[in-house]
Each structure stands twice: as C-alpha cells, then as structure tokens.
Amino acid sequence: MPTVDVFNMSGQKVGDMALNEMVFDVEINEGLVHQAVVMQLAAQRLGTHSTKTKGLVRGGGRKPWRQKGTGRARCGSIRSPLWIGGGTIFGPHPRSYAFSMPRKQRRLAIKCALTDKVKSNDFVVLEDLNFAAPKTKDFIKMMDALQAGEQKVLVITADANENVERSSRNIPGVKAINAGGLNVYDILNHNKIFISKDAIAHIEEVLA
C-alpha cells in the first residue's frame, strides 16, 4: 500500500497518508492510457471541415463540347475534378471523430495515470486546499512553498471551488478541476498534481 506525505498550504509536512492500492498502485498499461488520451482528444475535434464535390461546385451545367468529332477528350462538365475550379475527389466532409471506450477501461486508464504520478513523486497531497478569497498571489505563494516553481500543475479539489479556480486560472500551465472531472489527459499533461485529502477520498470511493 503506497504511502505519501501530507503537506499544508505553507509547504510544511503535517503527516502521512496511505493510499488505496487498487487505485494508486496498479500495473500500468501504456496502451490503454494511450487509447484513453486519443479518445479524449478525438472528442474535442470539431469535424467541421468540408469540401465541394463535382455536384456542389457552381457552374458546369452545359457540356463544353460535343462528344465526338472534335479530336479532344470527351468531357461532360467544366467542373470535373480533373479541371481547375472543379470539384474535389474524396475530400473531407463534416463528421464526428468521437469514439467510446468501456467504462472499466476508462477507469483503469485513470488509475494507471495516477499510479505513474505517485511513483514519480509528482503527487502532492494537501491537508486542506482552500483560499479565503480568490487571489493569484496566494496561489503562487503556495506553489513556491511546495517547490512547484514554474511547472505545470493540476489542482484537484473534491468539489467545485470557486476561490481555488479563480486564484489559479491566470497562471500559465495551472489548471483546477474537481474530482468528478478527473481525466487521463489532464493528469499526463501536467508535471505535478496538487490534491486535497477529501478529493482522494472521493476518487477512491468511485474507482476502488
């Protein structure tokens, strides 16, 4: 069972915490994690690209010349894809790139990503994560106390916390989410994770 240090917002160690091995100490499946990231990024694609086929390009209603007797190749429309200004062959059209994975696989991918952060000592547990008022200066002070420097940090709270979100949103590379919005891409896309003890309890309740 993995054990991590617990800090306060001033960067002082205040205790230890044992993590659930069914969530934070699983065998890492890189292929599954990759598939989960691809799924998440694919769902974000708009898919609004569009091209015109021969039938959609304006003009070309009249046959340019008669079928036989001219010595030229037969042609039925000046909007043929072989002509300049013609339609596009097999061009992209509006579509959805989204696909889904089974729930067990999605949850296992999150467990793998969390396990990787714990093993690499990039998983910082905070006894309490809250601010009296939304102040960016206070959040930067906390990051410096926890030796995060200018690294990309993912902040995870148990529930939506407006003060934490507003305090961190102007800092480049910092993102605040609640435990219900936990996802593989955000975990892997940030160097460190700041997470509150109550958020860990929520995650273990759902994933264990």
DSSP code per residue over 94-155: ---------HHHHHHHHHHHHHHHHHTT-EEEES----SS--HHHHHHHHHHTT-TTS-EEE
Q: DSSP of 147-204, one letter per residue?
A: T-TTS-EEEEESS--HHHHHHHTTSTTEEEEEGGG--HHHHHTSSEEEEEHHHHHHHH
Please report the pLDDT score of residue 208 as a whole number. Answer: 82
| Residue in this structure with the two tokens 């065998």, named with its chain if needed | 27
Please report the pLDDT score of residue 148 as a whole number. Answer: 87
Residue type, 154: L
The continuous run of DSSP H or E covering 42 comes out as helix 30-44
Mean pLDDT by 10 residues, the chain (208 residues): 89 90 93 96 95 92 93 93 94 95 96 95 91 90 88 92 91 93 95 93 91
